[in-house]
Structure 1
C-alpha cells in the first residue's frame, strides 16, 4: 500500500458509475480519502498527483459478499492478508467474510478478532459475516443483536442450510426485529448427500453421483415462504438454476424482501467444463447445465439476480488432487471475478454498468456499506480497469495462498490496472 497523497486527480478516464448510470469520459478528484469532484472538464490547482487512465474505465471498487478467508483456523488455505492481496489485484475493495471458520463466527469476541486482524493485515476493507446458529449446527440461534453491535454486517451458516423450518422461522423473526440481512445457502443436505456434480446425463456418463437441482429449489422455496411470513430481509447466497430464478421472481413480484446472488463461476462455466474429472471445477453448489447458465445470465441482465460474488473458497493441493468424488468442493475467485465477468460484457449478454452494479452498488445497498458509487462524498474505493486488455491467466502468479482456480490457462479480456482504497493505491499492474 502506498501512502495516499493529499489529492489525486484521475484524468482521461471512462467514468462508469452504476449507481447513477454515468458512463462518460472525464476526470475524478480524490481528496482526503473521498471523491471530491468529477466531470468532463475538471481542473485542479497544484498539489494533486495526476493519474492518466489513458481511456481505461474508472469505477467503484467491487464488494464481494461472502468470501472464505481462512482465519481463524484454516490459515494454510488463506489468510486475511493473502485474501486482501488477491482482492486488490482483482479490483475488489471490500470483502465480506464467511462465518464457517474454526471456531465459527458465532460470538462477539470472534467478530472483534476478525476486525482487529483486518485492521492490522488487510489492504482492503474487510467486514465479517456472523453465524445464524451457534456452532453452525442449525439448532440454536446466535445473539444477533450483540453480533451486530460487534460489527457483523450480515448473518449466514455459510455453506449449510438450516434443516429445521421452525428454527429458521424463529431466526428470521429475530433477525427482522434488528433489520439484519439473512444470507442462506439453499441446498437440502439429505438430497445432495454423496453427490459430486450436477445430476443428469453428463454425471451418468462419468459414473459420478449427482446433486439434483431440486435440492436447491426445495430449500429456496421454503426459505422464501418463511421470509414472506416473517418479513425478514432474506438473501439467497448462491442460486444456480432456472427453477430458483422462478422462485425469486415470484417472491419479488409479491413484494417480499428477497434478493439473490450468483457466483461468477456459475455465470461463465457449466457442467461440461468438468471434462475428464477436473477437480478444480468441483464446486458447491455444482456447475449446472448450459441452459441453466444461460438462464442465470439472462437473470443478471434483467436485474433479477442482485449480486455477483466470487465464490472464493480456497483449497490446498492435497484436498483437490484426489479422485473427483473425493476431492473437496470450492475454487478461488477474488482475483478473477471481474475479468471473468467481463466475458459476459464482451459477448453482449450483460451491459458493463449492470455487471458493476451487481458487483458493487447492489452489495453496498444490501449491507448498508459505503461504496458502490462515484458520487461526491463517497469513499474513494475505486478500480481502474482496461476492459479490452487480453491476457492469459497463470495460476502460479495469483496472489491467493491456494491456487485452485477453474480459470487456469483461460484467455481473459479485461485487466485491473489500479485499485484504490480510501484514496490509497493498494495495487498497480506492472
Structure 2
C-alpha cells in the first residue's frame, strides 16, 4: 500500500521500546521516512492539509518487528506461498523485516537466487525481505557454498534449515568460512540418524498413538557438538527453533562462558505440547516436534531470562496436499506470521513473559543477530513501526489470513491482540485502523 502522506501523526500511543528504555504515552510524528517528534505533546502545532492523524484508543506502538526465520516457498513452491502473499502476511503480522530460509526449489545456494529474491521483493515493496543462503550446496551437507558471493548478493546469514549439517568436519569448515565474512551460521539441530522415521516427540503420547518418536537427545547432541566447535572457531553460531530442556541447559552453560551463541524459539513451542497430536492433527506436526510440559516450561523460562535471545515464527506454509492426509505422510510446519503478536501477548497477559522482553525478542535481538539496522522509536530514527491494539479480540479464520496457506491449529480460536498498522521506511504497508477489530 503506497503512502502519499507528508506527515503522519500517531496520537496518544503507548510507545514501548526497551532498547531506549521507553514505555510511555506519547504522540509520534513521522515526516517522510523519519520519526521527527516523540513526546506527550509532540503533535501540538502539527496541522495542515497533508497531515494525517491516527488515533486508536489504548494502542501500543512497537519498533518494527523482525522475524529471523520464515519460509516463503519462492522459488519453486509458489502454490504454498510466494513473495507477494508472504510479504503481505508479514506486513499484516506487524513485521517490517523478515529473513527467508533457503530451502526453496532450487535451494538458495547461489548468488543468482539471492539476487533474484532481493530484487523481486524490492519491486513488490512493503515488508523488507532478507535472504538467508544455504550452508552447503543443495543443502546436502557436503560442499560449502560460496558464502562471500551470497553475502555480496544480500544474504544476511547461512543455514541448511530443514537439514542438519551432521558431519563435524563440514560444520567446522562452515563455521570458519562464515566467520570470515561475519555471517551468522544458523543450525537446524537434528541428528538424522536418531530421528529416521519419527513422526513426533518420543514419549508417552507417541507410545499411546503408536507413532515412532523423535528423542530430545537428537537435538541436544548436535547443540552440544556445535557449541564446542563454535567456541573453537570463535564463529557466530545461532540455534534455530530450540525445543528441548536439554538444549536450553547446554545453551545457558555456553553463554555463561562467553561463547558467541544465540538461539530462537517459536510461538508454537511456547504454547503447545505433544498432547496436541492426540487427535492425529497434522497441523500440529512440526519440525522439531512439539515436546512435553517440562520442555515448554524450560523454553518459557529461558526466553524470559534472555538465555533464548529471540522469538521467530518459523512460518512454514503448506497446502492441503501436504496436510490433509495421514500424519505419517504430512509435511511438518505451521504458519505463524499473522498470529505471532496475539499469541505472544497471550503469554504476556498471563504473566509468563514480561512485555519488554517480548518486544526485545521481536526487535532488537533478531536485528543484532542478523546484523540488520535496529528498529527504534526515537527522534531521528527511520520510521519502521508496528501499531497494536492489545485489547482487540478476533477469531482466527482462513478468510482473515493473507498467507496462501491456512495450516495452523489455531483456526477457529479467539485471540486477543491485533496489529492495526505497519510502517516501513515511513510508508504504511498495512492499515486496519479503519476496520473493525
User: Which has the larger displacement, 122-131 or 281-290?
Assistant: 122-131
The residue number in structure 2 matching 1:228 is 231
Partner of 2:376: 373
Which 10-residue stretch deviates more, 361-370 or 192-201? 361-370
Asked whether 1:21 is paired with 2:24, we answer: no
- Of 183, 187, 197, which residue of structure 1 is paired with 2:190? 187
CA offset at residue 45 of structure 1? 3.3
Q: Aligned match of 2:304 in 301, 304, 319?
A: 301
Is residue 254 of structure 2 the alignment partner of residue 251 of structure 1?
Answer: yes
1:287 is paired with a residue whose SS is coil
Report the secondary structure of 1:259's partner residue: strand
Counterpart in the other structure of 2:263: 260
Give the Cα–Cα distance (whole angstroms) in 2 for the partners of residues 285 and 306 of structure 1: 18
Let me know the Cα RMSD of the aligned residues: 1.2
- Alpha-carbon distance between aligned partners in 1 of 2:424 and 2:17, rounded to the nearest angstrom: 16
1:45 aligned residue: 46
- How far residue 56 of structure 1 moved from its aligned partner, in angstroms, is 0.5
SS of 1:99's equivalent in the other structure is coil
Query: 1:16-415 alignment to 2 at 5 Å?
Result: 16-42=16-42, 43-47=44-48, 48-415=51-418
SS of the residue 2:362 aligns to: helix
Deviation at 1:415, TM superposition (A): 1.0
Q: Is the 8 A contact 2:26 2:41 kept in 1?
A: yes
Q: Moved runs in structure 1, 4+ residues, more than 3 A?
A: none
Alpha-carbon distance between aligned partners in 2 of 1:174 and 1:230, rounded to the nearest angstrom: 10
| C-alpha deviation, 1:371, in angstroms | 3.3
Given that 1:371 and 1:378 are in contact with CA atoms closer than 8 Å, whether structure 2 keeps it comes out as no
Aligned 8 A contact 1:6 1:32 in 2: yes
Tell me by how many angstroms 1:37 deviates: 2.1
1:111/1:147 contact within 8 Å kept: yes
SS at match of 1:130: coil
Alpha-carbon contact 2:58-2:390 (below 8 Å) kept? no
Match of 2:8 in 1: 8
SS in 1 for 2:174: helix
Q: SS state of the match for residue 302, structure 2?
A: helix
> Residues 214 and 289 of structure 2 are in contact (CA less than 8 Å); yes or no, is this contact kept in structure 1?
yes
Q: Secondary structure at the match of 2:269?
A: helix
| 1:213 Cα deviation after fit | 0.5
Alignment size in residue pairs = 430
Aligned counterparts of 2:4 and 2:310: Cα–Cα separation in 1: 30
In 2: Cα distance, 1:44 partner to 1:253 partner = 51
Counterpart contact for 1:127–1:152, Cα < 8 Å: yes
Q: Which moved more, 1:393-402 or 1:70-79?
A: 393-402
Which segment drifts farther, 3-12 or 303-312?
3-12
Unaligned residue ranges in structure 2 (runs of 5+)? none
Structure-2 separation of matches of 1:20 and 1:194: 48
Structure 1 distance, partners of 2:173, 2:346, is 42
How far does residue 82 in structure 1 lie from its aligned partner after superposition? 0.2
TM-score (norm 2): 0.96
Q: How far is 1:122 from its partner?
A: 4.0
Q: How far did 1:419 drift?
A: 1.2
CA shift digits 1:292-314 (9 cap, x unpaired):
11111111111111010111011
Q: Deviations over 1:383-402 (max 9, x none)?
A: 11111222221133211111
CA-to-aligned-CA distance 1:247-303 (integer Å, 9 cap, x gap): 111111111100000011101111111231000000000001011111111111111
Q: Distance in 1 between matches of 2:83 and 2:3?
A: 21
SS of the aligned residue for 2:248 comes to: helix
Within 1, Cα distance between the matches of 2:126 and 2:8?
19
Distance 1:371 1:87 in 2: 18
How far, CA to CA, are the matches of 2:273 and 2:427 in structure 1? 38
Length-normalised TM-score, structure 1: 0.98
Hey, what's the Cα distance between the residues in 2 that align with 1:326 and 1:224?
Answer: 33
2:237 and 2:348 mapped to 1: Cα distance? 28
CA deviation string 1:138-191 (max 9, x = no partner): 111111112111111011012111011001001101111211111111011111
